[in-house]
Amino acid sequence: MGFRKMSVLSIGFILILSLVLAACSSNNKSANTGTNSGTQAPASSQTAAKNDGEKTTIRFSTWYGPGDVEIWKNVISRFQAENPNITVEFEPLEWGAYWQKLQTQLASNSAADVIGMHVGIVYGYVEKNQLAPLDDYLSANDRKDQLSESLLVEGQWPKDNPKQYALPWHVTGATLFVNMTAFKEAGIAYPENGWTIDEFKAAAQKLTTDKRFGFSVPTFSMAAGLAGAFGTEPTTADKLHSNYNSPEMLNFKTWLHELIWKDKVAPNPKDLDKNIDPFVAGKVAMAINGAWNFPVYRDIKDFEWDIAPMPSKDGKTKTYAGPDMLSITQDSKNKDAAWKFMQFVIYNQQAQELLRATGVPMLKEDLANDALINEIAAQKPAHFKVFLEGVNNDGIGYAFTKKFFEISQLELDADVKIMERPDADIKKELETLHDQVNKEFEKQ
């Protein structure tokens, strides 16, 4: 064989061998695709941090809302400044992608050391032995009393012999955003003492013009507060069965439907561009959105805005709220370093002063600090205390079960059939939804 032919074949063989070896390389190295707010440390997991100053890298993954990524990067920078031996690799993901990737990573033992965890679904992960208990770390923490029992309980399982598997990093929820410029134009006074759903609907009618609707009908967990005022929730109290066929749920969905098709104060959801926030665009004067939008909404220049109390029905008012949590994965090789990071995020003011921007203060010392509350209110929304009181006094969750994602998708699908059709058979659609949700609960 000629020398040239031999060389070509040798090079070709080496290339193919390299490709095969690269494709077969360890999953541990390929798991990290995140950003690092500090140094460019490698992604592979290393040995646990020790007090002798050994450098460690931990991975932190969570979902993000508008503005969250920058906030987290700043938190991580502050943590790393205080803990120069620990590097945090940040792996933010969009909500839907996060939960999909998390499950797969946990199954393949390639999840981050610290992971975002949602309230109410902690137990699903605990049952599969995927989360590390935090009790030993907590008992050594001298600031553990800063979190209220109601927040701690959300991260505990089982209920009869609880261990702590998740801790809150902020408390947030949904609030009613109102366009104050539109309020002034329509001559509507701000509801300082609260308002009923009839007063709310009357205001929506005054706010509706040929260029703008008074309100946009909420979906998914954004509707939980209003649903609570109607005395209903997606699941039964034991969180194991559907509640969609209840008379209260029918009343609630009918009321929302009438806002669109009878009262004409809310747009047909089909008319709203999914790529544009209708409240920010000025297409609706009132909308229920997540408090995590506060940092982004502060950039609105076209009109003045604030938040208003959730409307009440028969004296009942509810605010959708709850903690977002963090956990350490059972397979983490860096639990000590991971706990140091979690401890900083949850209990250290350097982190909390950044993180509470997307919700409400959660540490007892902050809740008792009137000056702090006033300082937050001065940044907008002006009636921040309304949301704070709603969260603390009338908080309500959503369908926080193992089937949270499935239930929310089924409800979204049902809402399309209910809200987008003027002649929807709401009762029939809710019965169908009820059966679908119960079937989902029966699946593994």
If one asks whether residue 100 binds other proteins (CB under 8 A), the answer comes out as yes
Q: Cα(154)–Cα(118) distance, rounded to whole angstroms? A: 9
If one asks whether residue 258 binds other proteins (CB under 8 A), the answer comes out as no
Task: Choose between 136 and 271: whose C-beta lies nearer to other proteins.
Answer: 271
Q: Cα(333)–Cα(46) distance, rounded to whole angstroms? A: 7
Q: Per-residue x/- marks for other proteins, 116-145, CB under 8 A?
A: ------------x-x---------------
Q: Which of 40, 161, 193, 275 binds other proteins (CB under 8 A)?
A: 275
Contact 52, 107 (CB under 8 A): no
Q: Which two tokens stand for residue 167?
A: 């801790």
If one asks whether residue 271 binds other proteins (CB under 8 A), the answer comes out as yes
Compute CA distances 18 → 10, 35, 101, 393, whole Å: 12, 27, 28, 62
If one asks whether residue 443 binds other proteins (CB under 8 A), the answer comes out as yes
If one asks whether residue 431 binds other proteins (CB under 8 A), the answer comes out as no
If one asks whether residue 240 binds other proteins (CB under 8 A), the answer comes out as no
Which stretch in 68-76, 77-85, 97-105, 386-394 sits in contact with other proteins by CB under 8 A? 97-105
Q: Cα(288)–Cα(307) distance, rounded to whole angstroms? A: 9
Q: Per-residue x/- marks for other proteins, 42-81, CB under 8 A?
A: ----------------------------------------
Torsions phi, psi for 138 (to 5 deg): -65, -40
**DSSP, res 103:** H
Site for other proteins in 15-44 (CB under 8 A): 16-17, 19-20
Query: If residue 374 lies in a helix (H) or strand (E), which one and from where to where?
Result: helix 370-378
If one asks whether residue 104 binds other proteins (CB under 8 A), the answer comes out as yes
Quote the least distance from Cβ 243 to other proteins, whole Å: 21
59: left (phi over 0), alpha (psi -120 to 50) or beta: beta
Quote the least distance from Cβ 130 to other proteins, whole Å: 7
Which stretch in 45-53, 104-112, 184-192, 299-307 sits in contact with other proteins by CB under 8 A? 104-112
Quote the least distance from Cβ 276 to other proteins, whole Å: 7
Q: Got the DSSP string for 4-34?
A: HHHHHHHHHHHHHHHHHHHHTS-HHHHS---
If one asks whether residue 237 binds other proteins (CB under 8 A), the answer comes out as no
Query: Which residues touch 9 (CB under 8 Å, ≥6 apart)?
Result: none
- H-type helices in 45-157, by residue range? 68-82, 95-107, 122-127, 135-139, 149-153
Compute CA distances 407 → 275, 426, 431, 435, whole Å: 24, 18, 14, 11
Q: Per-residue x/- marks for other proteins, 410-429, CB under 8 A?
A: --xxx-xx--x---------
Task: Choose between 32 and 330: whose C-beta lies nearer to other proteins.
Answer: 330
Residues contributing to the site for other proteins (CB under 8 A): 1, 9, 12-13, 16-17, 19-20, 100, 103-104, 106-107, 128, 130, 270-276, 405-406, 412-414, 416-417, 420, 443-444
